[in-house]
């Protein structure tokens, strides 16, 4: 039997990637996931105590986290490069330099063009996974030589483009259009979701929200509690200037939508976002007053667990879910 393409590419045991999360996925979470056989990914502001506008400090903070992961595990891991556009490129360029200097095995590149950093990362021997939200973008990423794409459906927590394609539709579109491996994310947190994504053509799985609600994540305890309490329609999709963001519904999301509806200007909206940033929720614990990026899968999460436990739960239940599926299929096939 051949090896799973994502496991082979990334040299990991299970094709499950912990997605990067701003202010959430620091060295401890990354090391716990990687040690358990998945791939952990350091996100922006990992391990940070405050917001820095300094480019140098942004890179050096990431270097410190990379070194910390290496003290905790020998397993492969990834660093998120939020490429960005215009002014933001100076930050991502610095993170790319650090990733290359530190010889991080894998880069997860998001929010940007695939031709910005793919060549320089690949020339340095680093595997490149690029996040996309349409098959057309996937094709472009494949053409510039990324090793795999990550398709993020509308269910996903956090920021994405303006498309509303769900994981159920996007994954087969991308898998049919591309020859390189495809990782599916958005709404996946349990074995049933993994099995469904594999059936849709995914080679690997990308999970953010479920890993946010773990003991090792840097989310504030009040944020984890709020997610555990969330049921049914507990997230909303907010329209921001450049993208959609899926957040846990709270006072912040209600107020944001109210001031938007009332005709607030672009500057007023951006000012409101700055004043109620993820830092305030994730680091200071203002779980009702500030922004918590969060996927729809929150409605399925009922407890805070260890990250290794989450991975073992997901992987350990795939076979029983598959058996159950075979019984269901036998009922009519
Ligand atoms: C709290 C939070 C913060 C996020 N921050 C980032 C980020 O900094 N960079 C990024 O590429 N994606 C970010 N994302 C998106 C995730 O990497 C991933 O696409 C998403 O969590 C997958 O969907 P799921 O939440 O349904 O598992 C974030 C998601 C969450 C929930």
Q: What is the 239 CA–ligand 1 centroid distance (Å)?
A: 16
State whether the beta carbon of 155 lies less than 6 angstroms from ligand 1.
Answer: yes
Q: What is the pLDDT of residues 53-111, one digit of tens each?
A: 999 999 999 999 999 999 999 999 999 999 999 999 999 999 999 999 999 999 999 99
Cα distance between residue 221 and residue 237, in whole Å: 23
First to last CA, the chain: 26
Q: How far is CA 87 from the centre of its chain?
A: 23
Ligand 1 near 315 CB (within 6 A): no
186 lines ligand 1 (CB under 6 A): yes
Share of the chain above pLDDT 70, in %: 100
CA of 116 to the centre of ligand 1 (A): 21
- Is 183 a pocket residue for ligand 1 (Cβ < 6 Å)? no
Given a cut of 90, is residue 300 above it in pLDDT? yes
Residue to mutate, 16, 17, 18, 21, ligand 1, most ligand atoms under 8 Å from C-beta:
21
Q: Does domain 5-219+302-330 have CATH number 3.40.640.10?
A: no
**pLDDT band at 276; cut points 50, 70, 90:** very high
| Average pLDDT over all residues of the chain | 97
Ligand 1 centroid to residue 316 C-alpha, Å: 24
Q: Is the CB of 297 under 6 A from ligand 1?
A: yes
Give the residue extent of every domain in the chain: 5-219+302-330, 221-283
- pTM of structure: 0.98
CA–CA distances in Å: residue 67 to residues 26, 60, 62, 128, 318: 12, 11, 9, 20, 33
| Distance separating alpha carbons of residues 197 and 170, to the nearest angstrom | 10
Is the distance from CB of 135 to CB of 173 less than 8 angstroms? yes
Q: How far is the CA of 326 from the centre of ligand 1 (A)?
A: 32
Ligand 1 proximity of 33 Cβ (cutoff 6 Å):
no
Task: Decide: 230 in ligand 1 pocket, CB within 6 A.
Answer: no
Q: 21 C-alpha to center of ligand 1: Å?
A: 5
Beta strand 106-110 with 204-207 is unpaired
User: What is the bridge-based pairing of β-strands 158-160 and 244-248?
Assistant: antiparallel
Q: In the predicted model, what is the mean pLDDT of residues 305-333?
A: 98
What mean pLDDT is predicted for residues 167-176? 98
Residues contacting residue 157 through CB under 8 Å, at least 6 positions apart: 21, 208, 209, 212, 235, 246, 247, 293, 294, 295, 296, 297, 298
The predicted pLDDT at position 162 comes to 80
């Amino acid at each position: 039997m051949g090896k799973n393409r994502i496991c082979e590419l990334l040299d990991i045991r299970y094709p499950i990637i912990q997605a990067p999360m701003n202010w959430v996925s620091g060295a401890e979470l990354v090391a716990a996931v990687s040690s358990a056989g998945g791939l952990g990914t350091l996100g922006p502001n990992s391990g940070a105590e405050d917001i820095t506008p300094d480019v140098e400090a942004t890179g050096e903070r990431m270097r410190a986290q990379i070194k910390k992961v290496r003290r905790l595990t020998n397993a492969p891991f990834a660093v998120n490069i939020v490429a960005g556009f215009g002014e933001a490129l100076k930050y991502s360029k610095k993170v790319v330099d650090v990733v290359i200097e530190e010889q991080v095995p894998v880069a997860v590149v998001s929010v940007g063009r695939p031709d910005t950093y793919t060549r320089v990362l690949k020339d340095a021997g680093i595997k490149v996974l690029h996040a996309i939200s349409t098959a057309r973008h996937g094709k472009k990423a494949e053409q510039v030589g990324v090793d795999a794409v990550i398709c993020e459906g509308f269910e996903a927590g956090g920021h994405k483009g303006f498309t509303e394609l769900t994981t159920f539709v996007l994954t087969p579109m991308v898998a049919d259009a591309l020859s390189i491996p495809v990782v599916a994310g958005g709404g996946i947190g349990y074995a049933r979701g993994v099995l469904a994504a594999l059936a849709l053509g995914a080679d690997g799985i990308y999970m953010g929200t479920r890993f946010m609600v773990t003991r090792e994540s840097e989310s504030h305890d009040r944020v984890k509690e709020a997610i555990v309490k969330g049921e049914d329609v507990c997230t909303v999709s907010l329209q921001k200037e450049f993208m959609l963001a899926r957040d846990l519904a709270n006072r912040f999301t209600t107020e944001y939508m109210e001031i938007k509806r009332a005709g607030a200007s672009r500057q007023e909206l951006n000012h409101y976002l700055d004043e109620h940033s993820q830092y305030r929720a994730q680091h200071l614990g203002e779980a009702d007053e500030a922004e918590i990026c969060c996927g729809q899968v929150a409605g399925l999460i009922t407890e805070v667990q260890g990250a290794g436990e989450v991975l073992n739960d997901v992987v350990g239940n795939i076979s029983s879910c598959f058996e159950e599926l075979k019984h269901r299929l036998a009922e009519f096939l």
